Structure 1
Amino acid sequence: MNIGIVGAGGVGGYLAQRLAEAGERVYLVARGAHLEAIRERGICVKTQAGVTCSAPAAVSDDPADFGKSMDVVLFCVKGYDLQEAARKAAPMISPDTLLVPLGNGVGNAEVLRRLYPGHAVANGAVYIVSHIAEPGVVALGGRGALLVMGMEGGETPPALTALAEALQKAGVKTKISGDITTDVWKKYLLIAAMGTLTSCHNVPMGPVLQKHRKELEEAFGEILAVGVAEGAKLGKEDVESVRRQLEKVPHDAPTSMWLDFKAGRKTELEQLTGYVVRKAREHGIDVPVMRRCYKILCEKAGR
């Protein structure tokens, strides 16, 4: 397969290295010092066992340089960059290319469908602890990644099956979901609630659990209600699963959105908070906690 990967960060860089190491033809879109380091020695993954580097078939900041269309393009960028990244990826997208967004959020497939009407667009959720340690090097925490992918209609096109097989061969635990809408909302339930409340109160996850637990539980209920209205089969057991995950979180664990706010960087506010508020309005659902925090965070962001 020709596999395009847009974004060489913690997710995209990891997948690119594993797939290239397994012999897949990977065309990686990266930029800056990261791009130059990858050109020099390949994309590297650092684990407790050491550093492994693999050269993609090609790497560039301009997809037109690849000179060919892909069987699959994985979008591994932040939600606020997805639309622009997808536009720039046009030279490697043919009518037969499967598009798979793997960023945080539940609205990413909508963005791609609007830009590429008539194309096959899957959706996906990635469970991984990773970050860029230095240019060209992705540091992996834990044992690896779990990638869940699927089409919203439940069908499985050949390109999705081939991609899953390639990922499994590369050592990436992969699941093709028959209900991807529910699966992406299960992850979103945790990241939207905690990303919003850590940023809203300017604290890590531990204090949210201890001092703002009532708000957190209310946020879970609000997000769950919106998810159900959007077609996700969510229930109390999913909230309980999130609670169990949070029991294992260190007291000072941050969320990426809170870190971005603290550093004055661009944030995923619209993907993790604004999206819930907008969809709640569409469905006539009251979401007071998410709405209040959205207002506070918009002011923090200078809007």
Structure 2
Amino acid sequence: MGLKFLVVGAGAVGGYFGGRLLEAGEDVTFLVRPNRRKQLEQTGLVLQSVKGSAKLDPPLIEKGEAGTFDVVLLSTKAYQLDNVLPDLKGFMHDDTVVIPLLNGIGHLDTLDRYFNKDTVLGGLCFIESTLTEEGHILHTSSGHRLTFGERNGEMSGRVTRIGESFEKTNADVETSIHISEGMWRKYLFITTLASITTLFNCPVGPIRESEEGRAFTYQLIDEIITVMRHTDEPIKDDFADKAWRQFMKLSEETKASMQKDLEKGLPVEADHIQGYLLQLAEKHEVSTPYLQAVYTNLKVYERMKDDG
């Protein structure tokens, strides 16, 4: 028998990769809220993608309904996590595996406390996608990569089996024995991208064309790396250079998902992304003026949004 997947939410990330699994014929169910369920029942799950579009009829489920699953793809925003986790236990059996696709790192502590630590794999993805007003998933760049693996560096049978389920999907999915390193590399990159595009309120192009913008970005990368090196995590010497090269290769129109959320007036993950690093910096007495400027800008935005 094949694996049964539960995708938590049907947003820009979970909806995309879950949709690609469903498109490939895998057993996929989406755990959604009532409003999203009503929308999907009317429109279907629509992927508008430069890699190939699709319209799917996804199985849907809400909290409190019956069913158990082998793999949970968790792609909520970090600020939604505490509300989502109580909904999951009823859908899990003793060997269910959780693959988190959230940005950042702090969610691993939360998941490890809530579930048995062995239940939680490492996971990350790179994709530029968003939800349209109609609830369609709009994927606008060629990248659609998902990576997962055991956080202890082993290649387990369960990871191999899950990887086999993704083999026929129209997405770049791979397993990794270096997933922890990969997650910290992504954390550096996504923090940098989210920070500069929200602070300067523009896509990458104008920032990169400005000498001051390039200098700010480089100093921010160095600052984040300095904080990360105070942890026991696998932070390698090439982290900064690779993050810089990745930044320089981005298309001029690239914006972080946090910037897109800010433009829509939605909540942002400031505490989970920048705030987590600032907590580490305070703990280890690391000066972080660039990161603090970014975080302050985001907290002012949150205050203005809440004040309406």
Superposition TM-score tier, normalisation by shorter sequence: 0.7 to 0.9
Unaligned runs of 5+ in 1: none
Counterparts of 1:126 and 1:175 in 2: how far apart (Å)?
Answer: 10
Counterparts of 1:213 and 1:5 in 2: how far apart (Å)?
Answer: 38
2:216 equivalent in structure 1: 215
Which segment is superposed worse, 44-53 or 10-19?
Answer: 44-53
Counterparts of 1:289 and 1:144 in 2: how far apart (Å)?
Answer: 29
Q: Percent identity?
A: 27
Letter in 2 for 1:191: I
Provide the secondary structure at the position in 2 that maps to 1:63.
coil
1:227 equivalent in structure 2: 228
Letter in 2 for 1:64: G
Letter in 1 for 2:14: G
User: Does the aligned pair in 1 maintain the 2:192–2:220 contact within 8 Å?
Assistant: yes
- The answer as to 2:98 corresponding to 1:96 is no
User: Does the aligned pair in 2 maintain the 1:95–1:119 contact within 8 Å?
Assistant: no
Counterparts of 1:43 and 1:144 in 2: how far apart (Å)?
Answer: 20
Counterparts of 1:290 and 1:142 in 2: how far apart (Å)?
Answer: 28
- Residues 277-297 of structure 1: per-residue CA shift (max 9 Å, x gap): 012223333322112332343
Provide the secondary structure at the position in 2 that maps to 1:127.
strand
Counterparts of 1:266-285 in structure 2, within 5 Å, are 266-285=267-286
1:64 equivalent in structure 2: 64
Shift of 1:73: 0.4
- The answer as to 2:54 corresponding to 1:52 is yes
- Residues 150-180 of structure 1: per-residue CA shift (max 9 Å, x gap): 2221134433222211112223322222122
Scaled by the length of structure 2, the TM-score of the pair is 0.87
User: Does the aligned pair in 1 maintain the 2:124–2:147 contact within 8 Å?
Assistant: yes
Which segment is superposed worse, 133-142 or 165-174?
Answer: 133-142
1:170 equivalent in structure 2: 169
Which segment is superposed worse, 247-256 or 10-19?
Answer: 247-256
User: Does the aligned pair in 2 maintain the 1:70–1:97 contact within 8 Å?
Assistant: yes
Counterparts of 1:48 and 1:15 in 2: how far apart (Å)?
Answer: 14
Counterparts of 1:47 and 1:298 in 2: how far apart (Å)?
Answer: 33
Letter in 1 for 2:25: G
Aligned residues: 300
Scaled by the length of structure 1, the TM-score of the pair is 0.88
1:107 equivalent in structure 2: 106
Letter in 2 for 1:190: F
Shift of 1:205: 2.4
- Residues 26-68 of structure 1: per-residue CA shift (max 9 Å, x gap): 1102235542243346423223576422333x303x2332x12
- The answer as to 2:16 corresponding to 1:6 is no
CA RMSD of aligned residues (A): 2.4
Shift of 1:101: 0.7
